[in-house]
Structure 1
């Protein structure tokens, strides 16, 4: 199978979930090879760039899409399998931004201290060696970090004609910023509008859990994905599947409410998968779950609940969609 290739022009970027016309209609079973711009829209390129001087606050997290999925209706489940997520540049940028980040005063956590200084780090990326080089500002310290490419953002249009900025994570997906969204992951999203209208972006060449300073190693990406549609079964919150784990993502403020959303979604998923009672599923989740952080900096925070499949009995969520898409991915030609 040959993927359909799409590289947006700058005027085709979208900055919201909902409220944008689709760039293309795709049928379930379609493979897409996409190019995504970095979260800064390519405007941060040197260590001397200050975010307040070079960024347009209305143009952050540009998305590639949205894509209209043939036959998708509210209540269905969109399955997106990420075959590959590959750096498209030999450099990545990270910054400190005034009033943004987990360890500074913000507009929502108001303090009398001045904002942290604006700094930019440009990482040299060696794709062949799989490394990105950190260079300190205040000393001659350098360090090679292993690449761990991921997408910060994948989402569908919200319900009720809502239009949400691409900086927001919520029930529709969006800017979840979890390192769990890597190659080999299948993402299940509830469809809210006809056609689903999904988009992707915000590539990170690596990111720690929590995205503490507010930015990862932001970089453009080549993304290959497979599109599938499952009639009915829409999850309340995003669900992920790896070869070895099931995951749910909740987004809210405060952080414990984001965690609760992800936990409730996992409890619900366990009742569906194993035909057990809600409290029995609650007990299992309590003893087996891991709780990786996604982000603690965005408009909503995002938390992950993760269950390793072993020792759970073998099941095939959504009719074995993940395994089927993994097999289909092996047939792709690039």
Structure 2
């Protein structure tokens, strides 16, 4: 990697993007560079209290903005871009969540049409205490409260799709996008296949925390200051998004119906585990079947997100994934701290 440079980017409101692809880059990165980027919440900061109903203060399609895209030098189709999330810090001392009419897992939608009335639109505000690492859930109809651990994540991160496509930031797919998995927290490395010259990385949609599945369709939405590092892995393609932590490797599938997202993730994991260990396909399939986990990212976006996760110690003598890039970028992030 070349010598590290730190790039800081804070977009103005009219510089936010709502697609992956179809945008000019806002800055250039090289392998080993550090990017500190400000991101806005999925509502663009317009929902700030119970009276700010998203249907009234937000306007489609201007939801789920991302910061970027960032042109990554030397990234070409057929390469893989590794992005290590070094830190994700809430930019405000509050976050918001909501229910929407015709949106979420437990209501009728355009794809699951029923005659029952839509859910009531309602907003919840969460007070965030960063020093204590906590936030407070406050029921809207009673006095019930509970303290929740702060667990910041990035909901939407991806690169430009191939074939001159521009994809809405609400959609997760092979390019990444609105993956909405809590696994995208600080300390995680994301691997994305490069589809266009420069990769065109963009991110946003921070959550203070989110349950597996994001059942109501909305996490605890926050603006963030996110610091990340990147490395281009030349000549190594990655068909579907992958994650690596100190403890595990994870494959991501995005599709509808949910079982297809599950199949994509586990098909990729069987192949990945086999390539890292030398296991024959059915042996790898058997091992993944017995030690794997399947956390759900979301069940409300245009594509659903399912992960296949395997703890590294349960793989027989694995090779380091992608030549050990996660460890290299983690060390770089540690130097930043």
TM-score by length of 2: 0.97
Q: Is residue 2:303 matched to residue 1:306?
A: no
2:324: which partner in 1?
320
1:314: Cα distance to partner?
4.2
CA change 1:72–1:268 in 2 (3 A) is: same
1:330: Cα distance to partner?
1.6
Q: Is residue 2:55 matched to residue 1:44?
A: no
1:331: which partner in 2?
335
Report if aligned partners of 1:29, 1:227 keep a CA contact under 8 Å in 2.
yes
C-alpha distance in 2 between matches for 1:278 and 1:194: 33
Report if aligned partners of 1:3, 1:332 keep a CA contact under 8 Å in 2.
no
Report if aligned partners of 1:131, 1:147 keep a CA contact under 8 Å in 2.
yes
Q: Is residue 2:35 matched to residue 1:24?
A: no
1:182: which partner in 2?
185
Task: After TM superposition, list the pairs within 5 Å mapping 1:241-260 onto structure 2.
Answer: 241-260=244-263
Q: 1:70-100 deviations in whole A, cap 9, x for unaligned?
A: 0011000000000001111000000001100
Task: After TM superposition, list the pairs within 5 Å mapping 1:120-139 onto structure 2.
Answer: 120-139=123-142
Runs of 4 or more, structure 1, over 6 Å off, are none
C-alpha distance in 2 between matches for 1:75 and 1:127: 40
**Is the deviation greater in 281-290 or in 119-128?**
281-290
1:96: which partner in 2?
99
Aligned residues: 333
1:228: which partner in 2?
231
**Is the deviation greater in 312-321 or in 81-90?**
312-321
Task: After TM superposition, list the pairs within 5 Å mapping 1:1-334 onto structure 2.
Answer: 3-312=6-315, 313-332=317-336
TM-score by length of 1: 0.98
Q: Which runs of 5+ in 1 are unaligned?
A: none
1:325: Cα distance to partner?
0.7
Q: Which runs of 5+ in 2 are unaligned?
A: none
C-alpha distance in 1 between matches for 2:319 and 2:243: 14
Report if aligned partners of 1:16, 1:166 keep a CA contact under 8 Å in 2.
yes
C-alpha distance in 2 between matches for 1:31 and 1:266: 29
C-alpha distance in 2 between matches for 1:97 and 1:196: 34
C-alpha distance in 2 between matches for 1:147 and 1:2: 30
Q: Quote the RMSD (CA, aligned, Å).
A: 1.0
1:271: Cα distance to partner?
2.3
Q: 1:123-180 deviations in whole A, cap 9, x for unaligned?
A: 1111111111111111111111111100101101001111100000001110010000
SS at match of 1:310: helix
